[in-house]
Amino acid sequence: MNKYIAEFIGTFALVFAGTGAIVVNDLANGAVSHVGISLTFGLVVTAMIYAVGDISGAHLNPAVTLGFWMKRTFPGRQVFPYLISQCAGALLASAILHYLFAQHSTLGATIPSGSALQSFVLEIILTFFLMFVILNVATDAKEKGIMAGVAVGATVALDAIFGGPVSGASMNPARSLGPALISGRLESLCIYLTAPIIGAFLAVLVCRYLVRHNAP
């Protein structure tokens, strides 16, 4: 049960801090800035990896959990409880942000700035980068250790800096689900529920290929 509580708290922190930065930036006339928002996402991911990595692995992301499951380093019986914990944490974070900032219409929901296809492809690639890094710094199905936190947090921030203005750089179905459901902005949700999972699965396939062909 500790693992599920840790995933709930970690994902809550990710969504509350990350989308909260978006909300505050909008209401404060850009005081946080796009780079500041990107760094907020990266820093909170880094902090949560150090905080709960030894407990739950600090997935904080359904796409990451499913990626580890596809890699066969994560037991199938724990997949659904992890997904529920992550989505519940995201929903509670968005609900509290709605209570605090009821005047904000989107609560940091991910909405494409261009075409749906453009954001769909970009989300696949961004999540591929993220999952590729995670798989190569994680221990089994756990993001933990000194370098894991830095590497994964830096990748989240990097993806958000250049991908955020186009697709929102979600890379995380739970991160998109919370704000979308609470704010009622569901029109593009399917992009952010499917593209990250595809990107994570592609990263697993590439890592398997590299390991297989790098073996003596």
1 or 153, greater pLDDT = 153
Given a cut of 80, whether residue 57 has pLDDT beyond it is: yes
Given a cut of 80, whether residue 180 has pLDDT beyond it is: yes
Nearest alpha carbon to residue 60 among 48, 43, 72: 48
Q: What is the pLDDT of residue 194?
A: 97
Backbone angles phi, psi at 139, to 5 degrees: -105, 115
Q: What is the pLDDT of residue 140?
A: 73
Give the pLDDT confidence of 148-178 residue by residue, as tens digits.
899 999 999 999 999 999 999 999 999 999 9
Per 3-state DSSP, the chain is made up of helix, strand and coil in percentages (nearest 5) of: 75, 0, 25
Q: What radius of gyration, in Å, describes the C-alpha atoms of the chain? A: 16
Angle at 16 between CA 10 and CA 22, to 5 degrees: 135
Given a cut of 90, whether residue 31 has pLDDT beyond it is: yes
The pLDDT of 7-34, averaged and rounded, is 97
Domain count for the chain:
1
| CATH at residue 208 | 1.20.1080.10
Specify the amino acid at residue 45.
V
Given a cut of 70, whether residue 215 has pLDDT beyond it is: no
Give the pLDDT confidence of 81-98 residue by residue, as tens digits.
999 999 999 999 999 999
Q: In terms of residue numbers, what domain contains 22?
A: 2-214
Distance CA 98, CA 16 (A): 11
Q: Tell me the torsion sign for CA atoms 150, 161, 24, 16.
A: negative
Distance CA 169, CA 60 (A): 15
| pTM (2 d.p.) | 0.93
Given a cut of 70, whether residue 216 has pLDDT beyond it is: no
The pLDDT of 100-125, averaged and rounded, is 96
Distance CA 164, CA 33 (A): 12
Angle at 19 between CA 27 and CA 138, to 5 degrees: 155
